[in-house]
Chain A
Amino acid sequence: MKPELPQGTRAEKVAFVRNLYREQQLGRAKIKMARTKRRWIVAGLAAVIALTVAGQLAVGLSILPERKALGVLWALLGVQAIFFVVLMYAVGNLTQLDWVLDEREQAQRDRAMAIAYRILMVALALVAIAVLIADLAHFRPMQTNQVGVPAYVGQALWVVFSLPLGVMAWMLPDPEPDL
């Protein structure tokens, strides 16, 4: 039977739709991939991110020709996006908002966020130290038109965005064997 939207205030209608969606989600498996596979994907994503940053630095330092390298860098960003989508599928989008998730899923998401935050703090501190040292040595890989500050900031933003998902995919156990 098709559920009918109740007559009432907007808040009541929103609550009804949310509840309906949440109920539909309860019977669906959120974790859909074995942990080993997920860990390989996280490792792959980390490797591609490292490769992209290395490529950006190489272009910034004029080690690689900008025109040729740009295509490769865009391709690497595309690969990162593919890894991200696969990870979203693998953990069943546990990064959703509170009203979609149950208490265990919220706890797992919050734990992953907390770990990701700690990793980011350490990474940010290391990057800040590296930039300071590089600046003292007049080592500034940001001088080109195409691969400048926005490219580094964009990559950093992508890392911030995908890290909690990666942590979650790394930590979560294998899917439930039976119903």
Chain B
Amino acid sequence: MPEGQRKIHNRLAVLRAERGISRVDLARTVGVNYQTIGYLERGDYSPSLDLALRLGEVFSLPVEAIFSTRPFAPLSEQVYGSARQEEGSR
């Protein structure tokens, strides 16, 4: 990633693992090289709006659910954290 460019965080690796999609399959679906998926997952490359929207379509999720300018909280914390909050409020 060029210096000075803000890092875009994403959930691609988690979503891909969750749906059991390989990098090659995902790359073919959105029309990029499979190495580009690796770059995206590591945060080494920020996608264009077009590519971000195509990825959103593949996972049937809005772009902001996949990409964020802030780091995503770990999934375990999101799932169990909210469950604990609900228990606490009862």
CB-contacts of A1-40 with B (<8 A): 22-23, 25-31
Give the A interface residue count (CB, 8 A): 20
CB-contacts of A109-130 with B (<8 A): 111
Main secondary structure of the interface of A (DSSP, over half): loop
The stretch that binds A, out of B26-34, B58-66, B72-80, is B26-34
Q: Is A98 an interface residue (CB 8 A)?
A: no
Using CB atoms, name the residue of chain B closest to A19. B31
CA distance A29 to B38 in the complex (A): 11
Contact A103 B28 (CB under 8 A): no
Main secondary structure of the interface of B (DSSP, over half): helix
B58 → A minimal CB distance (Å): 15
Q: With A103-B47, A103-B48, A111-B2 known to touch, is A179 a contact of B33 (CB < 8 Å)? A: no
Contact B39 A104 (CB under 8 A): yes
CA distance A173 to B33 in the complex (A): 15
Q: With A27-B24, A179-B22, A179-B23 known to touch, is A105 a contact of B34 (CB < 8 Å)? A: no
Contact A23 B33 (CB under 8 A): no
CA distance A103 to B35 in the complex (A): 12
Contact A103 B32 (CB under 8 A): yes
Using CB atoms, name the residue of chain B closest to A101. B33
Q: Is B51 an interface residue (CB 8 A)?
A: yes
| CB-contact partner of A176 in B32, B38, B50, under 8 A | B38
Write out the residue numbers on chain A whose beta carbons fall within 8 Å of the beta carbon of B35. 29-31, 104, 175-176
A176 → B minimal CB distance (Å): 4
From A22, A23, A27, A30, name the one whose CB has the most chain B CB atoms within 10 angstroms: A27
| CB-contact partner of A25 in B33, B44, B48, B51, under 8 A | B33
In the A-B complex, list the 8 residue pairs whose CB atoms are closest, starting with the nearest: A102-B32, A104-B36, A176-B38, A104-B45, A176-B35, A102-B33, A27-B24, A179-B23
User: Can you list 16 contacts pairing A with B, beta carbon distance less than 8 Å?
Assistant: A22-B31, A23-B28, A26-B31, A26-B33, A27-B27, A27-B33, A102-B33, A103-B47, A103-B48, A103-B50, A104-B40, A105-B33, A105-B36, A173-B44, A179-B22, A179-B34
- Contacts beyond the supplied A23-B28, A103-B36, A103-B47: 20 A-B pairs with Cβ under 8 Å: A22-B31, A26-B28, A26-B33, A26-B34, A27-B27, A27-B28, A28-B33, A29-B34, A30-B35, A102-B31, A102-B32, A102-B33, A104-B36, A107-B45, A176-B34, A176-B38, A178-B23, A179-B22, A179-B23, A179-B24
